[in-house]
């Protein structure tokens, strides 16, 4: 079912840890003398784990056949210490045009063996209905996207519209699918992170994947086996008690800041474009260190489609997500009048979940199912995260959540000079030129300065 392959490994990890530990303990950098200290006793068991976090201790895994939801609620959920490249639902639309339902059934049988065949067939029927809704409405969605591109992106050529309308349509219509569809990723972590993930693995799939990862490592360095012990943690996101409604806008509400908002513009050093693009230097430049002491706490209410994208920005800390019973209805689906249809999908998901383990129910949630959580970050973290989301090339929901945040922040800090709009804006606002190259969104850049964050459908 899930395949895990170790792609990147540095041999001699114990020797590398020993050398790292000796550098901390000895007056001279050790040479190649062959001396290896007792890593288990002198480093690992006493918590000196930076010695297994060096460049010599990074591991890279190809992971194929894992459910999207088991990435969102698993590998990407809690720890920020990873680099991950996941197959894009935005770019790989074929996974929605012909979803492999038999793979989903086999996935359930593999990781939830106590689920009976009757419920497995109900799951298959649920995925099939999602696929039918997608297929029936995709041509209408593409036509509506073409219409809205002409309105919102006036410089779009016929070729641009033909190429991008299907992509944008599938991106918004895919919210009908459960996140049980299978994906792949390249997942890079250090040895210390693998040890921790193995210990706290909280779901059947997390337990299985971390077991496969450890087995791959021990094939090439069995002496590391003493590091791995399994805990007894069980966790799944809180399920809703009822399905409530469809929402056409995400929420990104500011809760608190640890400085008075009236002092915000005096306390924060806002960067010029060259400090954030094409390489973000804010977390490395001493001029901006004070920004790390200015934190903002927010409440988010977003779809699983946006959650997966949101988790890739690891300069922001997040609380545990919980389902709310709402469904995010993207603009094109609003224009197509699909609210009742998507509401019925949510009702069907909730009925199905009553008869299933919670860890399974959570990955059967539609992409559009909404979760709530709090997040917290420094100004440098938000500058890094939000500047990428005010671009028209960003996912529509991510764009509107960011737009909501910036409008509220501007009001709270009494930003009459629009400094925040300038510094959180996309590159085209800052420099007058698109930073996406061939992906230029075709909006009218001459109007960007007047209204950098207009409402948009596509």
Q: How far apart are CA 102 and CA 107, in angstroms?
A: 9
Same domain, 135 and 267: no
Say if 293 falls within a structural domain: yes
Alpha-carbon gap, residue 31 to 442, rounded angstroms:
58
Residue 84 lies in a domain: yes
List pLDDT tens digits, range 384-412. 888 778 888 888 999 999 999 988 888 88
Can you tell me the distance from the alpha carbon of 238 to that of 435, in angstroms, rounded to the nearest whole number?
A: 39
The predicted structure's pLDDT at residue 259 = 58
Q: Are both 123 and 271 inside the same structural domain?
A: no
By C-alpha distance, which of 100, 82, 144 is closest to 330?
144
In angstroms, the CA 455 to CA 430 distance is: 19
Instruction: Report the distance separating Cα 415 and Cα 408, nearest Å.
Output: 10
Q: Are residues 347 and 287 in the same domain?
A: yes
d(CA 68, CA 148): 29
Strands 58-67 and 182-190, by their bridges, are: antiparallel
Greater pLDDT, 399 or 25: 399
Structural domain contains residue 102 = no
Do 285 and 381 belong together in one domain?
yes
Q: Is residue 232 part of a domain?
A: no
Tell me: do 312 and 401 sit in the same domain: yes
Task: Give 93's pLDDT tier (boundaries 50, 70, 90).
Answer: low
Rounded to 5°, the CA angle 400-405-411 comes to: 125
Domain boundary among 195, 227, 259: 227
Q: What range defines the domain where residue 138 resides?
A: 113-176
Same domain? 272 vs 370: yes
Residue 183: its H or E element: strand 182-190
HEC letters along 112-172: CCCCCHHHHHHHHHHHHHHHHHHHHHHHHHHHHHHHHHHHHCCCCCHHHHHHHHHHHHHHH
Q: What is the pLDDT of residues 52-83, one digit of tens each?
A: 888 789 999 999 999 999 999 999 999 888 88
Structure confidence at residue 72 (pLDDT): 97
pLDDT at 444: 78
pLDDT in tens, 323-371: 999 999 999 999 999 999 999 999 999 999 999 999 999 999 999 999 9
Is 54 inside any structural domain? Answer: yes
Rounded (10°) angle between helices 117-152 and 339-353: 150
Q: Is residue 239 part of a domain?
A: no
Same domain, 198 and 157: no
d(CA 68, CA 415): 40
Q: What is the mean pLDDT of the chain?
A: 90
pLDDT of amino acid 151: 94
Q: Quick check: is 97 in a domain?
A: no
Query: Domain check: are 184 and 171 in the same one?
Result: no
Q: How far apart are the first and last CA of the chain?
A: 36
For the chain, the 3-state helix, strand and coil shares in percent, each to the nearest 5, are: 50, 15, 35
Residues belonging to the chain: 458
Q: Is residue 454 part of a domain?
A: no
pLDDT of residue 107: 98
| Alpha-carbon span 356 to 213, nearest angstrom | 27
Instruction: List pLDDT tens digits, range 149-204.
Output: 999 999 899 999 999 999 999 999 999 999 999 999 999 999 999 999 999 999 99
3-state secondary structure of 413: coil
Q: Say whether both 271 and 408 belong to one domain.
A: yes
Instruction: Supply the pLDDT for residue 181.
Output: 96
- The number of folded domains in the chain is 3
- Greater confidence, 325 or 97? 325
Q: Are residues 269 and 413 in the same domain?
A: yes
DSSP 242-257: S--EEESS-EEEEEEE
Q: What is the pLDDT of residue 96?
A: 86
Claim to verify: residue 160 and residue 219 sit in the same structural domain: no
Give ∠ CA 118-211-66 in degrees, rounded to 5. 50
Among 105-114, 202-211, 219-228, 407-416, name the one with the lowest average pLDDT.
Answer: 407-416
* CATH at 207: 3.30.1360.170
Same domain, 297 and 324: yes
For residues 89 and 227, the model is more confident at 227
Tens digits of residue pLDDT in 226-274: 999 999 999 999 999 999 999 999 999 998 765 566 677 778 898 888 8
């Amino acid at each position: 079912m899930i395949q895990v392959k170790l792609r990147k490994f540095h041999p001699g990890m114990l020797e590398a840890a020993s050398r790292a530990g000796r550098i901390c303990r000895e007056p001279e950098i050790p040479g190649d003398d062959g001396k290896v200290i007792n890593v288990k006793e002198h480093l690992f068991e006493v918590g000196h784990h930076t010695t297994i976090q060096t460049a010599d201790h990074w591991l890279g895994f190809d992971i194929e056949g894992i459910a999207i939801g088991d990435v969102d609620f698993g590998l990407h959920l809690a720890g920020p210490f990873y680099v991950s490249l996941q197959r894009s639902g935005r770019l790989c639309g074929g996974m929605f045009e012909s979803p492999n339902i038999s793979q989903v059934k086999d996935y359930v049988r593999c990781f939830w063996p106590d689920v009976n065949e009757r419920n497995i067939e109900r799951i298959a029927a649920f995925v099939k209905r999602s696929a039918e809704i997608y297929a029936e409405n995709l041509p209408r969605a593409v036509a509506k996207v073409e219409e809205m591109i002409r309105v919102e992106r006036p410089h779009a050529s016929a070729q641009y519209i033909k190429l991008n309308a299907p992509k944008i349509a599938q991106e918004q219509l895919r919210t009908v699918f459960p996140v049980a569809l299978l994906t792949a990723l390249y997942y890079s972590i250090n040895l210390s992170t693998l040890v921790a993930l193995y210990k706290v693995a909280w779901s059947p799939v997390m337990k299985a994947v971390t077991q496969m990862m450890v087995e791959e490592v021990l094939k090439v360095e069995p002496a590391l086996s003493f590091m791995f012990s399994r805990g007894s943690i069980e966790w799944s996101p809180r399920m809703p008690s009822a399905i409530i409604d469809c929402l056409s806008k995400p929420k990104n509400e500011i809760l608190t800041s640890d400085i008075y908002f009236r002092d915000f513009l005096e306390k924060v050093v806002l960067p010029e474009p060259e400090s954030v693009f094409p390489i973000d230097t804010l977390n490395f430049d001493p001029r901006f260190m004070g920004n790390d002491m200015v934190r903002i706490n927010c409440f988010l209410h977003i779809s699983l489609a946006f959650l997966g994208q949101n988790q890739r920005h690891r300069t922001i800390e997040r609380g545990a997500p919980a389902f709310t019973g709402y469904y995010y209805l993207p603009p094109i689906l609003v224009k197509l009048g699909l609210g009742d249809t998507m509401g019925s999908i949510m009702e069907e998901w909730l009925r199905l979940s009553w008869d299933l383990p919670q860890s399974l129910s959570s990955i059967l949630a539609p992409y559009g199912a909404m979760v709530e959580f709090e997040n917290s970050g420094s100004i440098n973290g938000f500058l890094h995260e939000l500047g990428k989301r005010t671009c028209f090339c960003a996912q529509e929901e991510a764009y509107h959540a960011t737009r909501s945040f910036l409008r509220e922040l501007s009001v709270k800090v009494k930003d009459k000079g629009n400094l925040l709009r300038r510094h959180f804006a996309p590159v085209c606002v800052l420099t007058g030129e698109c930073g996406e190259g061939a992906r230029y969104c075709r909006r009218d850049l001459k109007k960007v300065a007047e209204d950098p964050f207009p409402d948009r459908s596509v």
